[in-house]
Amino acid sequence: MSLASHLPPIGIGQRLRIWSIIVRTGLSERIAYRGDFALGTLMRFLPIITQIFLWGAIFNAVASDAGAERDDSQRIGGFNFPDMVAYFLLTMIARAFSSMPGLASGIASQVRQGEIKKYLIQPIDLIGFLLLSRISHKLAYYVVATLPFAFVFFLCRGFFVAGFPPPHVFVAFLGSLLMGFLIGFFLEASIGMISFWLLEVNSLLLIFMLFSFFLSGHMFPLTLLPESVASVVNLLPLKYLAYFPAAVFLNKIPEDELATEMLIEAAWLTFFIVACRFMYSRGIRRYSGFGG
């Protein structure tokens, strides 16, 4: 049991002030090196140029093999060329929400070095602190990235041939982004919690990143997978990190399946919240606060 559990309970007003301080501190840390942060953000847009040329070459090659010229009626995995470019633009947004660089390794480092004991003697929850820190990181990122995103999407507006989705689909898209952020956070935090037992999680994290890169739809639409493989991949939560939000926006999810898919995503989110909390509560019971 942590010493913080013996402290007097704090009120809602005090808790909100603590949360606001955490968010402001996180924002200050992120913008301390503004030039480096802005340059790193802008560099994230370069891969989309590669994707446009790569998939243009792929569609040209397929059309050439068929003895025809490339046109928008040609489809690969249910996507024509404009759809494919729009898809990668949207997955770039989805991954900006769901990616959590350094989260699991940071938790493991704190456990290994004994720094985690400060959360056991203060009325600050580790998971809540990390979540608020990530929110501040995302806020700082989008403050810098909003204009570049808007500029890139304006230049590529011709690829969104289906136009803007209906209001209910757009609401589902926003909901999928929010849940994707939370799934990404609690999934990777759960990996970090394994450090209470293994101390070092870098190997597990590398395996997760490899699977996530291929099976989240970040590299290619999941509809390109063979049906036998896709049926298994669609049971995993990874598709909600990139593929699903993009597919929702592009109306690639049938209307009669959209609500069900959103409920499944919410169920996965609930699972990872419970798993993360359970692993943390079990982990601190066997934690020894050396170092730090």
- DSSP class of residue 10? P
d(CA 53, CA 115): 47
Query: At a CB cut-off of 8 Å and minimum separation 6, what does 286 contact?
Result: 196, 197
d(CA 56, CA 31): 37
**Closest-CA residue to 144 (of 45, 50, 243):** 45
**Closest-CA residue to 177 (of 269, 105, 257):** 269
Q: Which pLDDT score is estimated for 201?
A: 81
Using DSSP's 3-state secondary structure scheme, residue 79 falls into strand
Burial profile 219-229: b = 16 or more Cβ within 10 angstroms, e = fewer: ebbbbebeeee
pLDDT band at 6 (very low <50, low <70, confident <90, very high): very low
Q: pLDDT tens digits for 70-85? A: 677 788 888 888 899 8
Q: Which pLDDT score is estimated for 122?
A: 73
Q: pLDDT tens digits for 240-267? A: 999 999 999 999 999 899 999 999 999 9
Q: Which pLDDT score is estimated for 52?
A: 81
- Measure Cα distances from 197 to 20, 282, 288 in Å: 33, 10, 11
Residue 147 scores a pLDDT above 80: no
Q: pLDDT tens digits for 111-123? A: 888 888 877 777 7
* Contact (Cβ atoms closer than 8 angstroms) between residue 77 and residue 55: no
**Closest-CA residue to 239 (of 258, 257, 260, 212):** 212
- Dmax of the chain from CA atoms? 76
Burial class of residue 240 in the structure, from the number of CB atoms within 10 Å of its CB (0-12 exposed, 13-18 middle, 19+ buried): buried
* Contact (Cβ atoms closer than 8 angstroms) between residue 148 and residue 43: no
Q: Which pLDDT score is estimated for 158?
A: 85
Q: Which pLDDT score is estimated for 14?
A: 63
Which of 154-163, 180-189, 193-202, 278-287 has the highest average model confidence (pLDDT)? 180-189
d(CA 118, CA 250): 46
Mean pLDDT of the chain: 82
